[in-house]
Amino acid sequence: MYMALLTPAVAAGAGANPVRKVVNLLQAMQKKVEAEGEKADELYKKFMCYCETSGGDLQASIAAAEEKIPQLAAEIKAGTEKKAQLDADLKGHQTDRTAAKKAMAEATALREKEKAAYDKALAENKTNLAATLKATAAIAQGMEGGFLQTNTAEVLRNFVNSRQASADKQELLAFLSGAQGNEYAPASGEIVGILKTMGDEMAADQKDMIAAEESAVADYGGLMAAKKKEVAALTKSIENKMARVGELGVEIATLKNDAEDTAEALEEDKAFAQDMEKNCAEKTGMHEKDQKLRSQEVVALADTIKILNDDDALELFKKTLPSSSSSFLQIQRNGDSLRREAQSLLEVAQQKVTSNKHRLDFVMLALNGRKAGLGKIVKLIDDLVVVLKKEQNDDNDKREYCNEQFDQADDKKKGLERTIADVETVIAESTEGVATLAEELKALKAGIVAVDKQVSEATEQRKEEEAAHKELMQSNTAAKELILFAKNRLNKFYNPKLATAFVQDKAAPPPPPATAAAYKKKGEESNGVIAMMDLMVKDLDEEMTVSETENTNDQAQYEKTVAEAGDKRRQDSKSITDKEASKGDLQSLLEKSDTDKKSATKDLMGTEKYISSLHGECDWLLKYFKVRQEARADEIDALGKAKAVLNGADI
């Protein structure tokens, strides 16, 4: 009945002693069980190595995440508090700067008001002082009559009227109103004394007024310098703290993202570790159970071989068993025939099975044994088919899980790689943009310096041209007046009717001595000289007209140039402000992109690590899935046929 279990080599010696055949069969089964045990141990060791390695890495990752999460929370809290403090500082700085600017504006308005009052008072003082000095000089020279008819006398009368009442005031008013013919007629000497006193007082007032103005200007300048310094310091603090607030905002957002990612990774690692721990524990239990069963099987086979190989047993078998020529292997009973046919089918299937061959061995042992009924064997076959189908379903689920995880992880990896590539592009473009803006800012600032220098040079040149024009006009006017004076002098002598009366401050020169020789007029020669003088005056007039026109044109051109330069400077200054803002935005984007790249790179490394763990878990199944599926299908098919044979079917 054991013929179906024999290998081809053993089957070839079917004519040998039946007991020897049984022993050979048992020894072959023993080797087979031991070989399967060694292979199972090797696979189990590899699996446990994976459990220990992956488990250690997972626990380290979990511990690191659990330690990192509170640290991130503390950093987020500290950053948020610092940002709140910076916001409060910013508000205070902005309030202080507004107050400083308001104080500057108020001081400027007050200074302008004081300056206007000063200019008005100084002008009045100068006018009154000049009128007093002229009155003093006129009265001292005995020309008070002509002086009292002038506008200057009117100015002086108005000034005296504005003074406080005094005896001097009455005397001056009486004098200035022309009351010399009345009963009250102050002496001119007394009036001169009063006027000199008034002049001295006004000169002293003017000096005090100028000193007070200079002091006020100095105080204003000191205040404005201090306030400008304060505003500059506050502006710098505001800019620095605004930049820091922006940086802190980015840092807090990054920390929050990192905290969320770490928390998610921690949950995933814990779930994966729990599943892996469960699978590893189940694998250990199954291996120990299989090992124990295999050991029992090996002991049973060894004991059986020992029993059959015992000398007494061999002697007994010689006496009791038929010879090799008998029909020991050809029992004709119907039940045995069915068992052998089913056994033959299962032996073919067993050669294709790659794992858990002992399960068919149990069925085949049941077929070999005579005590187990066919119904019990059929139930064994049905139970084994259920187990095989369940294993196939488990493999199907595992393959679906592995493929799904590989797809998801690969999609995530590709997405992260694209993100990193995009961020690297942004970093490169931002770096180039910052460099370009830096060059443009440098060029704009150099352009403003050049424009300021050109305006300064143009202003200096305009001043020189204006001074030259004024000098030319003054010298030409003086020359013209001198020529006309000389011409008039000639006309007095040669053409008295054409002479003009020139008012001269100095006395006319005395007449020539009576003893001088008579002088004969050179009328014809004088006409030529006078004509030349007229031509010279005409040339001077033309030169002055040309100079005036050129000076007007130069002034207009200068004002236009300065206005255009001012427009360009304002435009360049605005461009500098805009480009500095753009540069700041690009630098912020550059910092954010660098942070995003680091975060994406970290996620990519985690994804690649997970893909590596998936390979360790799934590669062996995906590689041998089809082989295992086909072997399992063949095994189920053979079991089905064996069951059909046992149920009486003719295969």
142-187 tens-digit pLDDT: 655 566 666 677 777 777 767 665 656 666 666 666 654 444 444 5
What pLDDT is stored for residue 81 in this prediction? 92
409-426 tens-digit pLDDT: 889 889 999 999 998 998
Domain ranges, residue 478 = 439-498+523-594
**Is residue 578 one of the residues assigned to a domain?**
yes
**Is residue 446 one of the residues assigned to a domain?**
yes
Exposed, middle or buried, 429 (CB in 10 Å: 0-12/13-18/19+)? middle
**Is residue 367 one of the residues assigned to a domain?**
no
DSSP character at residue 475: H
What pLDDT is stored for residue 514 in this prediction? 38
pTM more than 0.75: no
End-to-end alpha carbon distance in the chain: 19
What pLDDT is stored for residue 505 in this prediction? 40
**Is residue 568 one of the residues assigned to a domain?**
yes
Above 50 in pLDDT, residue 235?
Answer: yes
**Is residue 452 one of the residues assigned to a domain?**
yes
Above 70 in pLDDT, residue 365?
Answer: no
DSSP character at residue 13: T
CB-CB contact of 209 with 115 (8 Å): no
**Is residue 374 one of the residues assigned to a domain?**
no
**Is residue 475 one of the residues assigned to a domain?**
yes
**Is residue 103 one of the residues assigned to a domain?**
no
Kindly state the average pLDDT of the residues 520-526: 48
178-222 tens-digit pLDDT: 654 444 444 567 777 777 888 888 889 889 989 999 999 999 999
Q: Percentage of residues in the chain with pLDDT exceeding 70?
A: 73
Domain total for the chain? 1
Task: Report how far residue 85's alpha carbon sits from residue 439's, in angstroms, rounded to the nearest whole number.
Answer: 36
Q: What value, to the nearest 5°, has the Cα angle with vertex 499 and ends 493 and 502?
A: 110
Rounded to the nearest integer, the mean pLDDT of the chain is 77
The winner for highest mean pLDDT among 95-104, 537-546, 620-629 is: 95-104
Task: Report how far residue 406's alpha carbon sits from residue 610's, in angstroms, rounded to the nearest whole number.
Answer: 9
